[in-house]
Amino acid sequence: MATAIAHPNIALVKYWGKQLGPGNLPATPSLSITVAGLATTTRVEAAERDSVCINGEVRRDTKVEGLLGAMREDFDLPPLGIHTRNDFPTGAGLASSASGFAALVTAIDAEFELRLSPQERSAWARRGSASAARSIFGGFATLAPRDGHWSGDRLLAKDSWPLELVIAVTDETAKPVPSSEGMERSRATSPFYEAWCRSTEADFETACQAVTKRDFGLLSAVAEHSCMKLHALMLSSRPALLYWNQATIAAIATIRRLQDAGTSVFYTIDAGPQVKAVCAPGQGGGVAALLARSPGVLRVVRGALGDGARLANSPQPS
């Protein structure tokens, strides 16, 4: 049996919306940071029938079933017993599906000696959950069209720009509307959807330049803009998607106060009420202390940039 570890990632230029047709292809390019400090560990083994056990609970998981069905068209895989554990809340806007599918594909690759390249593992992980394509890679990762097809790639190694992260957890329960359903709702109903897709391509180019140049001010501006546009898109869907709570808004205000005081920090928020503060190297301690006292914050989790998905006993992260 093979055991793999993967971390969630946090998008700084967001993915929200799929292309019509097969392959789970996003409608927009995205850029993320992979986050150490939160992890999914997944073990796979040949079994009598397929089964999925998440945090000790046996579940039916249609996304896992879809991925295994697609992989079996290309590879001779036996029925699989899949055991996965998250050391953070599942389905609460902390990207558990990203780390989950990155770990699952990495474990399957090792157990059945498929000899997939990181890009191939990323493409399979994308079939399970598009954001998972980015968690194959450590540091700064992208999922974007390249040479005529969609590809996950590493943009910059984690040690080249060791940003810090503080996650303000404001609600540990699972989100009311899953991301796949929410983004389809936005595609089908928001009058802003086309503008979102168009403008995200420009945001992606700007953010890639900001990361390459390690320009924190430019990255802050484009990442906060992408985040706010995502939530405007969600709010303009029918029925409206509102993932925030009062503590989310209070945490944004706390981060704005820090910015006004000269701290290099910006916020981003996904399909959930947690606020993620991205900090320049050395700024995480002060940001964590203030966010921990922000009204309604249950706890803060500090993180650094993490490695890509890898085997549990592998000394060399990919």
Positions that interact with ligand 2P0 (CB under 6 A) = 11, 14-16, 24, 30, 97, 129-131, 179-180, 270-271
Contact call for residues 1 and 87 (beta carbons, < 8 A): no
β-pair partners for 303: 165
φ and ψ at residue 119, rounded to 5 degrees: -65, -35
Q: Which is nearer to ligand 2P0, 140 or 290 (CB)?
A: 140
DSSP states along 172-240? -SPPSS-HHHHHHHHHHH-TTHHHHHHHHHHHHHHHHHHHHHT-HHHHHHHHHHHHHHHHHHHHTSSS-
Cα 274 to the center of its chain, rounded Å: 13
Calpha distance 126→292 (Å, rounded): 34
CB of 44 to ligand 2P0, least distance (A): 19
Q: Which is nearer to ligand 2P0, 93 or 284 (CB)?
A: 93
Q: Which is nearer to ligand 2P0, 11 or 291 (CB)?
A: 11
CB of 316 to ligand 2P0, least distance (A): 26
Q: Which is nearer to ligand 2P0, 131 or 170 (CB)?
A: 131
Between the alpha carbon of residue 115 and those of residues 118, 119, 220, the distances in Å are 10, 11, 38
Q: Which is nearer to ligand 2P0, 254 or 268 (CB)?
A: 268
β-pair partners for 310: 5
Q: Which is nearer to ligand 2P0, 12 or 311 (CB)?
A: 12
- What is the 3-class SS of 123-154, one letter each residue? HHHHHHCCCHHHHCCCCEEEEEEECCEEEEEE
Kindly tell me the burial class for residue 191, based on how many C-beta atoms sit within 10 Å of its own C-beta (0-12, 13-18, 19 or more): exposed
Q: Which is nearer to ligand 2P0, 128 or 311 (CB)?
A: 128
- 44: closest CA among 100, 111, 117? 111
φ and ψ at residue 205, rounded to 5 degrees: -60, -45
CB of 64 to ligand 2P0, least distance (A): 11
Calpha distance 272→270 (Å, rounded): 5
Q: Which is nearer to ligand 2P0, 11 or 297 (CB)?
A: 11
No. of H helices and E strands in the chain? 9, 14
| Residue 127 structure tokens | 């079939």
